């Protein structure tokens, strides 16, 4: 078995290193191309098969340096293939917008600079937008304003009608040769007078009502000084627990023992001889 790491190599006997010459191949024409590993810089849709390629998908791409430049910044072009139909997709760097620009083979799902262009509005467009926002105010606020305006118009109309009627009455009295009496009604005074009349009517209504006489309970001093009621004291007695006859439960009969008969014998008198010598302590 041969070695895994060869330390010495075989040289034939007729080996002449001077005969080995260095040959240079032709230089690569066109832009410089190298293979790199990259991730998709944006989400895109393949125009050939409709496959969606999400942002961050890894590819083995060919990187090409183009002759285009943006303020002396080199622009690079990348070639990848669709994961479904293997169609070639090309995109390049965009230093102006600090992003990437899709060239062919796919369609970008979202382009942020387009939204930025739409966001740039002129002075006239800004004024039009402000007018639209002013017209689209809160509906409730507009309704409240309309209600207040309607109330004010109604008050003005009532005041005008009153003035017209008073002027007509004055003119009619002057034609008849009489002095017209103009009465000025104070609204606050009339309201205050009406409130006083309502309070007086309520006071009279409540004063006329008679409350039912339920009577009063009279308590005498004797009832208050009654002797306290004696409460009987309950005494508890301990009852002995009856013993259970387990023999009767098991069917065992105990023999009956006759009660001893009472004896009428009297104890025999002690003999005097036994007690001799115990009547004195002298020896």
Binding residues: 46, 49, 82, 85
**Residue holding tokens 């942020």?**
112
| 118-152: b (≥16 Cβ within 10 Å) or e | eeeeeeeeeeeeeeeeeeeeeeeeeeeeeeeeeee
Q: Which positions make up the binding site for Zn(2+)?
A: 46, 49, 82, 85
């Amino acid at each position: 078995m041969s070695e895994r790491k060869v330390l010495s190599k075989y040289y034939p006997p007729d080996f002449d290193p001077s005969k080995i010459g260095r040959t240079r191949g032709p230089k690569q024409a066109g832009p410089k191309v190298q293979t790199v590993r990259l991730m998709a810089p944006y989400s895109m849709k393949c125009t050939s098969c409709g496959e969606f390629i999400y942002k961050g998908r890894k590819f083995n791409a060919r990187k090409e340096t183009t002759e285009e430049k943006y303020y002396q910044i080199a622009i690079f072009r990348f070639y990848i293939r669709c994961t479904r139909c293997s169609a070639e997709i090309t995109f390049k760097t965009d230093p102006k917008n600090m992003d990437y620009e899709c060239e062919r083979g796919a369609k970008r799902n979202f382009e942020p600079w387009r939204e930025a262009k739409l966001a740039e509005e002129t002075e006239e467009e800004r004024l039009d937008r402000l007018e639209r926002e002013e017209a689209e105010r809160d509906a409730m606020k507009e309704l409240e304003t309309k209600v207040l305006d309607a109330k004010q118009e109604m008050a003005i109309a009532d005041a005008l009608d009153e003035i017209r009627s008073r002027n007509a009455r004055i003119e009619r009295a002057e034609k008849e040769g009489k002095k017209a009496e103009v009465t000025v009604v104070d609204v606050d005074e009339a309201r205050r007078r009406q409130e006083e009349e309502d309070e007086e009517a309520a006071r009279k209504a409540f004063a006329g009502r008679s409350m039912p006489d339920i009577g009063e309970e009279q308590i005498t001093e004797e009832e208050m000084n009654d002797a306290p009621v004696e409460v009987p004291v309950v005494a508890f007695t301990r009852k002995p627990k009856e013993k259970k006859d387990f023999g009767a439960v098991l069917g065992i009969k105990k023999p009956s023992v006759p009660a001893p008969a009472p004896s009428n014998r009297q104890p025999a008198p002690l003999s005097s001889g036994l007690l001799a010598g115990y009547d004195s302590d002298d020896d």
